[in-house]
Amino acid sequence: MRIVSIGGGPAGLYFSLLMKKSDPAHDITVVERNRADDTFGFGVVFSDATLEHVAEADRESHAEITSHFAHWDDIAIHYRGQVLTATGHGFAGMSRQVLLDILQRRCAELGVRLEFQTEASDLAAYADADLVLAADGVNSVVRSRYAEHFRPQIDWRPNKFVWLGTTFPYPAFTFLFKESAHGLWRVHAYRYDASMSTFILEATEQTWRRAGLDHADEDQTLTFCERLFAEELQGHRLLKNRSLWRNFPTVRNGSWRHRNVVLVGDAAHTAHFSIGSGTKLALEDAIALARALQRHGEVAKALAAYEEDRRPEVERLQRAAQVSLEWFEDAERYHGRLEPIQFAMSLLTRSLRVTHDSLKRRDPGFVSEIDRWFASRAEQQSRVAIRAAPPPPPMFTPFRLRELLLSNRIVVSPMCQSSAEDGTPGDWHLVNLGSRAVGGAALVIAEMTGVSREGRITLGCTGMYKPEHVTAWKRIVDFVHAAGPARIALQLAHAGRKGSTRLQWEGKDEPLAEGNWPLISASALPYHPYSQAPKAMDRADMDRVRGQFVNAARMAEQAGFDMLEIHMAHGYLLASFISPLTNARTDEYGGSPENRARYPLEVFDAVRAVWPSDRPVSVKISATDWAEGGIDFDEAVGFAKRLREHGCDIVTVSTGQTVPDQKPEYGRLYQTPFSDRIRCEAEIPTMTVGEIASYDDANSILAAGRADLCVLARGHLDDPYWTRHAAYEQGWDLPWPAQYVSVKGFNPRLD
């Protein structure tokens, strides 16, 4: 086979040597525009030092590569005069030039032709090759040449960074955060041989411009950085090597192959330097492609198999890299707001791959420290002494909202059961909510409950609009209170334009086949094109509905509920005012974010005024509509600030369900980043909800300050005793009701 690799970086060289090794008859040329010893950058870091695939693929180069590794286990975070260190992370670094030397030597040894100082510009020159490898890096010319086939998407990230070296041998993977008059600077530094470290400096464009670096040449950049970090560098110098300020491009491609041309390494995909995986990805691409070619004789089949094999792994890593790069872009959000240990926890768990549990395995001392710190904060916040030693895992610490004391941080999310009779909850609701309260959650939120008969979503929804409802709810509330420490909240709502629909198992959001009732909403926009058009509310409608919320709140007090949640999410009536997608009003309730917030806040104030002052009120919001033209993050933060100013105690941060053509990005903890941001920027406590899969997720979220309470819907539906099982798995003693004390000491089989 005749193979040409355009580019002699890690991907091109490694693929070429693997192919030549598998069959010396292959005719392989690597075309590289640089000289052999002419590289950019300094060291590369491998976040996972094991490189198992590389060991299997070519033992010779693996042995040489690993013999040059500088190993270290620690991550050190320099934050406001403190250095926080977590150990057990297993990194390795090496010089990029040494890596290339090893691969070049191995290529030459096996008979790969290396053509340095050759720029591939006319691709027609390689037309007779059986396979053309586009290994020409992040700015791939091959990718541009065939852009209509590869369909590249390049996401230029806003921050500025520069890749420098230093003679300071950093003993750990080091993150430095430093404030100057210009703003906040972040450094990612790691050692790559006995005496040298990579030093990447990153800042927002604003900070970079304020420092005048938009006009700086390499030497001026160096002088500026040496001055800024004089104290940290302890007399060591910074070094340049084509050290120009850049923006990081996240590269993705619709396809990685076109006829006999295939993308590998950075040409196909990039992963931000903060997770140190680009080189490893490039090497793994080379392995996968070489294997696919060995397995499938035909190039077309092999390229398809390669892409199918690699894409999921690459995309998984790119998702982690995205969260990681966003964390660094948004570092101003956390810097100065979080205490040092929580800042460190937030940084370490940023990509969700490192968790409270995995950190505990790596560095039990670090996690004990964070647990102790968290428990002491919880003691102050809840005014409850925590006597346990060692302290409880974060999810089993108390939390206070006004005079409501929650015994832990787990909440059962409101979930419509579609089983009420004219709004009256019955035995199903008693068992459903009762068993979850016995199951260990500190707070159970009863389902979305209509403030009027017409305000229900379906005929099966619960309500709070007639005297019988108070009696029926009181039975449930009394049971919960008698059964143990769990508290119970009621979620009050009006369905708006999403009302008059079928039971959830008969067609969610689908209009009733017959017997529909008239709908109201912020504007006369139907949910589905075929749904009933609602009436745009006039002032009389607004007064009436506000009165219904007030009545329902009074009735909820009579029923004994501990807390109220007002539903302003998921496209229901109050949410329909907030989102520009559902609010087309031209009066003082439409237009600007302030106007769109006006009526929901009016309802909030009216409810707050009649609800006992010692009991909290939460509001559930959709922080994004996941649709073009909908609520954006800044607006959600703005709305949460307004809620705080109006006396809202805590915000439940959900997303979407405003419009049917939304494009949500589901996944583990997919809504938690929204909670994180609102909690930090709006400075209001939050509940996070959405695919919280494990107790480890809950502990990680809480310890890192991404929310104050963790809310589970389907998790607790699937397992009413989810919280008890989480306690058992963590060896935490959650007291049983008297009726069940014989369970103490019983070992459930949870596997």
Ligand X SMILES: Cc1cc2nc3c(=O)[nH]c(=O)nc-3n(C[C@H](O)[C@H](O)[C@H](O)COP(=O)(O)O)c2cc1C
Ligand Y SMILES: Cc1cc2nc3c(=O)[nH]c(=O)nc-3n(C[C@H](O)[C@H](O)[C@H](O)COP(=O)(O)OP(=O)(O)OC[C@H]3O[C@@H](n4cnc5c(N)ncnc54)[C@H](O)[C@@H]3O)c2cc1C
Q: Mark residues 246-265: x for contact with ligand Y by CB under 6 A, - for none.
A: -------------------x
Q: Maximum distance among all alpha carbons in the chain?
A: 88
DSSP designation for 505 = H
Contact with ligand X (CB under 6 A) among 491, 576, 658, 662: 491
314 is a contact residue toward ligand Y (CB under 6 A): no
Q: From the candidates 79, 126, 572, 599, which is the catalytic residue?
A: 572
Q: What angle do CA 16, 294, 22 make, to 5 degrees?
A: 50
Contact with ligand Y (CB under 6 A) among 12, 392, 534, 673: 12
58 is a contact residue toward ligand X (CB under 6 A): no
Amino acid at 146: Y
Alpha helices by DSSP H, listed for 349-442, are 356-362, 364-382, 427-438
Using CB distances below 5 to 8 A depending on partner kind, what does residue 9 bind out of ligand X, ligand Y, none? Answer: ligand Y
How far is Cα 542 from Cα 686, in angstroms, rounded to an integer?
28
How far is Cα 662 from Cα 670, in angstroms, rounded to an integer?
15
Q: Mark residues 701-720: x for contact with ligand X by CB under 6 A, - for none.
A: -----------xxxx-----
To the query of whether residue 589 is one of the catalytic residues in this protein, the response is no
Contact with ligand Y (CB under 6 A) among 273, 465, 527, 561: 273
Query: Which residue(s) pair with 171 in the sheet?
Result: none
278 is a contact residue toward ligand Y (CB under 6 A): yes
Q: Where are the beta strands (DSSP E) in 607-724?
A: 617-622, 650-654, 686-689, 709-712
Contact with ligand X (CB under 6 A) among 76, 233, 416, 698: 416
How far is Cα 638 from Cα 633, in angstroms, rounded to an integer?
9
Helices 427-438/467-483 angle, 10° precision: 30
Minimum CB distance to ligand Y smaller for 278 or for 455: 278
Query: Which residue(s) pair with 86 in the sheet?
Result: 75
Minimum CB distance to ligand X smaller for 11 or for 669: 669
How far is Cα 706 from Cα 522, in angstroms, rounded to an integer?
32
Which region among 130-138, 228-236, 308-316, 544-552 touches ligand Y (by CB under 6 A)? 130-138
Using CB distances below 5 to 8 A depending on partner kind, what does residue 279 bind out of ligand X, ligand Y, none? Answer: ligand Y
Q: Provide the minimum distance between the beta carbon of 96 and ligand Y in the complex, in angstroms, as a whole number.
A: 7
Give the residue from 395, 420, 426 showing the smallest Cα distance to 408.
395
Give the residue from 708, 716, 728 showing the smallest Cα distance to 691.
716
Q: Mark residues 144-183: x for contact with ligand Y by CB under 6 A, - for none.
A: -------------------x--------------------
Q: Where are the beta strands (DSSP E) in 304-378?
A: none
135 is a contact residue toward ligand Y (CB under 6 A): yes
Minimum CB distance to ligand Y smaller for 93 or for 616: 93
Using CB distances below 5 to 8 A depending on partner kind, what does residue 228 bind out of ligand Y, ligand X, none? Answer: none
Q: Mark residues 72-101: x for contact with ligand X by CB under 6 A, - for none.
A: ------------------------------
625 is a contact residue toward ligand X (CB under 6 A): no
318 is a contact residue toward ligand Y (CB under 6 A): no
620 is a contact residue toward ligand X (CB under 6 A): yes
10 is a contact residue toward ligand Y (CB under 6 A): yes
How far is Cα 31 from Cα 129, in angstroms, rounded to an integer?
13
DSSP string, 131-148: EEEE---TT-HHHHHTHH
567 is a contact residue toward ligand X (CB under 6 A): yes
9 is a contact residue toward ligand Y (CB under 6 A): yes
Q: Is 563:405 a contact under the CB 8 Å cutoff?
A: no
SS (HEC) of 639-667: HHHHHHHCCCCEEEEECCCCCCCCCCCCC
Which region among 173-181, 429-437, 684-692, 718-726 touches ligand X (by CB under 6 A)? 684-692
Q: Is 148:255 a contact under the CB 8 Å cutoff?
A: no
State how far the alpha carbon of 438 is from the alpha carbons of 35, 444, 734, in Å. Answer: 70, 10, 11
Minimum CB distance to ligand X smaller for 165 or for 656: 656
User: At 101, phi and psi to the nearest 5?
Assistant: -60, -45
Minimum CB distance to ligand X smaller for 77 or for 446: 446
Active-site residues, by number, are: 572
Which residues of the shown chain bind ligand Y in the complex (CB under 6 A)?
6-12, 31-34, 41, 44-45, 119-120, 135-138, 141, 163, 200, 265-267, 273, 276-280, 282
Which residues of the shown chain bind ligand X in the complex (CB under 6 A)?
413-416, 447-448, 491, 567, 620, 654, 689-692, 712-715
